[in-house]
Chain A
Amino acid sequence: MTSYSPSRVRADVPQFHREVHGRPLTYLDSASSTLPPRAVIEAMDRYYERHHANVHRGVYLTAEEATADYEGARAAVARFINAPGGAEEVVFTKNTTESFNLLARSWGASRLKPGDVVVVTEMEHHANVVPWFQLRESHGIEVRFVPVGDDYRLDLSHADQLLDGAKLLSVTGMSNVLGTRNDLAALARLAHAHGALLAVDGAQSVAHGSSDVARDGIDFLAFSGHKMLGPTGIGVLWARHSLLEAMPPFLGGGGMIADVRTDGFTPAHGVARFEAGTPPIAEAVGLHAAIRYLEGLGPDAVEAHERELTRDALERLERTFAGRVRVIGPRDVADRGGVLSLDVDGVHPHDVAQVLDQHGVCVRPGHHCAKPLMHRFGLAATARASFGPYSLARDTDALLEGLGHALDLFA
């Protein structure tokens, strides 16, 4: 049992102590980026004030401290996602997007031949679509899409055909538009049964529940620090050790080599091979602090809280607006996270979001970098409200009030 209290988390987040437009901040854009608690900000401040030096280079005290901080963060990530091979499987990147580019350019470009198949889904973020399309252009691979059904869940009825000949199935743990959570263990079994590996976009799922790559049997996992209470500028690509070992470097430069001569270079061993140049050290420290903080809350408790907020919000939206505000996503909260994509009758999502802003309510209008999904449902954009560990039922109150105002103004 943890002593998780959403209002205590809120008190821990400095940004909640400011006002916007003379009102308290109602932050409903955690799917885009979460607000860091003081512990994360202070860990980074402390690092810059006392320990900063470049890593893996100097032998003076602070350089050793900085290196210990950076590598300590890697170990924390490994524990957090239960990486069977430990820290040696954790590559730091800039964000989820860079993680997928690394996966495609390194694993993909070295392993895939013309005609090889990568299967993604219609609910993927562009980060897990475009790098594969780029590989299609450069290497002639084939990209297939698992469709999304009218129930806003993956339609796996033709999975056997789609996965026939596939080398990789790459899916999101949780849709950043629909809130749909995918059953990763089942997808891993499905992929493996077809001789394919499973890559998971954990940008949403890692932040809003527990992640266990060993339990689920997945092969690659990508996620971002800034969506899990951590700082921007740091992300992770986790890969099973046997896979990572065989992957060539992607970016070249300092830090990633074992030797460089005038006639060529030898890449470094281990994860250093993928981390060219000075890495985001302070950001790794911040991510470490975020992981500690999340573990203190209890990922399962956070997930349960966000599920209850979602159930309540779905019910109140329905009761208050009776069909004038449509939620694009599953009704059933069992396998669903706290993301509410709203289609407001007669009001463009940009205008919805603008009116909500005047109520101090932060939501995200747009296509959420998931255009294939938008096309699938015939939408140009939605206004998306999403919950975080600090969200409270009164955030939903403010959302409903603002939506009422938007309908009055435009409709």
Chain B
Amino acid sequence: MANLDDLYREIILDHYRTPRNRGELPTPPATRVEGFNPLCGDEITLYLELADGRLADIKMTGRGCSISQASASLMGAAVKGKALAEVRAALERFRQLMTVTETRLDEGGEPETPDVRSLGELAALAGVVKFPVRIKCAMLAWTTLAQGLDEAPAD
């Protein structure tokens, strides 16, 4: 049975109350990209500065629920300064973490607990998958990041 503590881990509440990498970056050189969760009105704006094949800097503004905001803050901390290939790999790992496996028809069986060792602090969000409606909240920053990486001019 999914428990509230699985969702609102202390790290998540901390990142929600004290979000990291808040603010804006001048565009250009940074790329600005917006994401919306039409279901609940969460919104996020990312500023991505790419240099020498790295995500040299990332800043963000936005508003939304604790999961969307904490996920954005954790994401920023995880990807800032990383090589773009690593950023994309982190994106893919996170996407897998947020994937609901097929459930049984009778009682909605619980999905398996994924291997989260490679995820560091992001593992705190692993519990979200037990609350499938909230997956979109957790994914918002990440899908916005993916869009931004696609849109950013190659340097």
Contact = CB atoms under 8 A, between A and B. Distances in A.
A and B associate in one complex? yes
Interface of A: 21, 348-351, 354-355, 358, 365-367, 374, 379-381, 409-410
A355 B40 contact: no
Interface stretch (B45-53, B62-70, B73-81, B108-116): B62-70
Contacts of A410: 13, 16, 66
B65 A349 contact: yes
Contacts of B41: 366-367, 374, 379-381
Q: Could you tell me the dominant secondary structure of chain B's interface residues?
A: mixed
B39 interface: yes
A385 B151 CA distance: 41
Contacts of A366: 39-41
B40 A367 contact: yes
B4 A355 contact: yes
A21 B137 contact: no
Contact of B65 (A348, A374, A409): A348
Nearest to B131: A354
Given A354-B131, A380-B64, 11 more contacts: A349-B65, A350-B42, A350-B64, A350-B134, A355-B4, A358-B4, A367-B40, A380-B41, A381-B40, A410-B13, A410-B66
A46 to B, nearest CB: 23
Given A380-B41, A409-B8, A348 B1 contact: no
B35 to A, nearest CB: 14
Taking each of B39, B40, B134, which has the highest tally of chain A beta carbons within 10 Å of its own beta carbon?
A: B40
B143 to A, nearest CB: 17
Interface residues of B, number: 20
A370 to B, nearest CB: 11
Given A365-B40, A374-B41, A380-B41, A348 B8 contact: no
B7 interface: yes
Which 3 pairs show the lowest CB-CB distances between chains A and B? A380-B41, A350-B65, A348-B65
Given A348-B66, A410-B66, A354 B4 contact: yes
A252 B3 CA distance: 49
A115 to B, nearest CB: 31
Contacts of A374: 41
A266 to B, nearest CB: 42
A366 B39 CA distance: 6
27 contacts: A21-B1, A348-B66, A349-B65, A350-B40, A350-B42, A350-B64, A350-B67, A350-B137, A351-B66, A351-B67, A354-B7, A354-B8, A354-B131, A358-B4, A365-B40, A366-B39, A366-B40, A366-B41, A367-B40, A379-B41, A380-B41, A380-B42, A380-B63, A381-B41, A409-B8, A410-B13, A410-B16
Contacts of B1: 21
Contacts of B13: 409-410
B43 A380 contact: yes
Nearest to A379: B41
A404 to B, nearest CB: 15
Contacts of B131: 354
Contact of A380 (B3, B40, B67, B134): B40
Nearest to B8: A409
A409 B9 CA distance: 11
A358 B131 CA distance: 12
A367 B38 CA distance: 8
Interface string B65-107: 1110000000000000000000000000000000000000000
A331 to B, nearest CB: 25
A365 B64 CA distance: 12
A374 B36 CA distance: 15
B123 to A, nearest CB: 20
Interface string B12-42: 0100100000000000000000000001111
Given A354-B131, A354-B134, A380-B63, A349 B4 contact: no
A270 B54 CA distance: 67
Contacts of B16: 410
B100 to A, nearest CB: 17
Taking each of A350, A374, A409, A410, which has the highest tally of chain B beta carbons within 10 Å of its own beta carbon?
A: A350
Taking each of A21, A348, A366, A381, which has the highest tally of chain B beta carbons within 10 Å of its own beta carbon?
A: A348
Nearest to A405: B4
Nearest to A357: B4
A194 to B, nearest CB: 35
A271 B114 CA distance: 53
Contacts of B7: 354
Nearest to A380: B41
